Structure 1
């Protein structure tokens, strides 16, 4: 490869034994991708067609599941292509493009979980004000901001990344792209890029998580003094959101720690963990909401019975 090619394309060095198990990886990930799209889409469809589910809580669930599908589409097409390719490479512009949508939809995930926590807080702690606060216009505004704010904030990172060109051929030790790793492997002063990354991490992850913890703490305090029926209802509606939050936070936390802290983790273990990071959340969410949310599971059962008839 000539120097021009080396400075334009990056080698994704996070793959393991693709030449041996490429077709197996491809079949497994394609099956996973199809399952993610179908399972998330089924729940979104149920929420759309059943009027009993046209409530803020279920609308936010539908938005979260749609975001999970969008999040997956930033990874799976490239993954599937790489599993069948001799060399796992990606152009620098496409790498920036993937990193932008990776963090944008990841930030939207936290914003949507924050919206769910706010909805549950108002519903349980301020029930009389709930219809006034959670109006249709308010819900639409929250959904627009959940997708628009992360995308607008990450535009600055994408612009900075385009100005920092790779100065030599290097191997990107992951199976997907992120801004922090690109900044470390490019020429020039990356101080502003790293400072912006820290700001975005605080704004898109830390602040929403603090708000969510505060909201559920208030809910816990209020329901603790309530009746047994109130406690049961609160647990039934809040537990799925908390499980999804914990799952996504652990996966995101690993990704952040891994790219900022140099740790000697075997490449095979890294490869498996990266695949789990991509797969787990999108597989986990429809199971949690489909099985734990009573109204969704009830309508799913009705739909299955109708289909069998």
Structure 2
């Protein structure tokens, strides 16, 4: 398509979900509740790691990074989703849409990197316990965290720039509740094969690459745990990994289905929407509960924090 004869659209219409008023109100209330729980739960984990000395360890430093990412990952999508559920005009400006898409993938990709670093941290703690404290210093933890953020920023930047340069001159209806790249490519003019190929390569490199590193780490972890002579020692060692494994299973299961396909342009998005709700709304709510329920140190820190809040009014 010749860009000189193209009048670029100034806004997109997010098709979202079918507009049945009663259902939209119900869905709005449910999503709003889940969003509040997500932000509050992940925020609480960040505060607990900051104020409780027992949680100021590499594992919880990376957990607070993950919680911070979850808060912004869901915030990049859910507020606009809530607005559209109650609005007859579900539009978003062109550059707002591009920004939403970029930050959604930035936080999502960085989350994969953080989860991979967390699996490496568990590998060192269980398989190399004598060297753990000398390797995972505070400076190393900070550097690993910065690398994951820089990696997320760089990974998605080129694809976003290429999408912005596409001629969106015809339909402006995006068949999704947020600006996902797949539905946007479906309505774009010009040749999108390069962007699709690049997106598929990013998915393979980020999703499968990080998953492979995580699986390798856990092969060594499980083999080390099985060599621990006492059953109580095995349970104690595995309990430090159980929450991370649960989160990894939920997250990778959803994104493998959505993004790891050679062509997003010619696929149906109905099922993708349902799985995207799981990925962007429900999973960020589950993570704080998973780490709280399955981790004794976090539970004890939470009990201590709640205990102080109960005692302070009595003292006054």
TM-score w.r.t. length of structure 2: 0.89
Identify which of 246, 249, 265 aligns with 1:246. Answer: 249
CA distance, structure 1, for counterparts of residue 207 and residue 244 of structure 2:
16
CA distance, structure 2, for counterparts of residue 210 and residue 52 of structure 1:
31
Deviation at 1:130, TM superposition (A): 0.9
CA distance, structure 1, for counterparts of residue 291 and residue 210 of structure 2:
21
CA distance, structure 1, for counterparts of residue 131 and residue 104 of structure 2:
36
Q: Is the 8 A contact 1:175 1:274 kept in 2?
A: no
**1:256-295 equivalence runs, <5 A:** 256=259, 260=264, 267=270, 271-295=273-297
Identify which of 223, 236, 239 aligns with 1:236. Answer: 239
Q: Could you tell me which residue of structure 2 aligns to residue 300 of structure 1?
A: 302
Deviates more, 1:167-176 or 1:233-242: 167-176
Sort the Cα spacing of 1:14 and 1:188 in 2 relative to 1 into closer, same or farther, 3 A: same
Q: Is the 8 A contact 1:32 1:279 kept in 2?
A: yes
Instruction: Determine if the alignment matches structure 1 residue 149 to structure 2 residue 151.
Output: yes
Q: Is the 8 A contact 1:22 1:84 kept in 2?
A: yes
Instruction: Determine if the alignment matches structure 1 residue 120 to structure 2 residue 140.
Output: no
Q: Could you tell me which residue of structure 2 aligns to residue 185 of structure 1?
A: 187
CA distance, structure 1, for counterparts of residue 117 and residue 241 of structure 2:
13
Deviation at 1:136, TM superposition (A): 1.1
**1:157-236 equivalence runs, <5 A:** 157-227=159-229, 228-236=231-239
Q: Could you tell me which residue of structure 1 aligns to residue 314 of structure 2?
A: none
Q: Could you tell me which residue of structure 2 aligns to residue 79 of structure 1?
A: 81
Sort the Cα spacing of 1:5 and 1:22 in 2 relative to 1 into closer, same or farther, 3 A: farther
Sort the Cα spacing of 1:57 and 1:68 in 2 relative to 1 into closer, same or farther, 3 A: same
Q: Is the 8 A contact 1:64 1:112 kept in 2?
A: yes
Deviates more, 1:108-117 or 1:170-179: 170-179
Q: Is the 8 A contact 2:28 2:82 kept in 1?
A: yes
Deviates more, 1:68-77 or 1:187-196: 187-196
CA distance, structure 2, for counterparts of residue 180 and residue 273 of structure 1:
14
Sort the Cα spacing of 1:5 and 1:308 in 2 relative to 1 into closer, same or farther, 3 A: farther
Q: Which secondary structure does the structure 2 equivalent of 1:260 belong to?
A: coil
Deviation at 1:261, TM superposition (A): 8.4
Q: Which runs of 5+ in 1 are unaligned?
A: none
CA distance, structure 1, for counterparts of residue 210 and residue 299 of structure 2:
28
Instruction: Determine if the alignment matches structure 1 residue 23 to structure 2 residue 25.
Output: yes
Deviation at 1:285, TM superposition (A): 0.4
Deviation at 1:271, TM superposition (A): 4.8
Number of equivalenced pairs: 305
Question: What do residues 227-285 of structure 1 show as CA deviations (whole Å, max 9, x unaligned)?
Answer: 223311221001110000001111212322688386668x5x66544322221211110
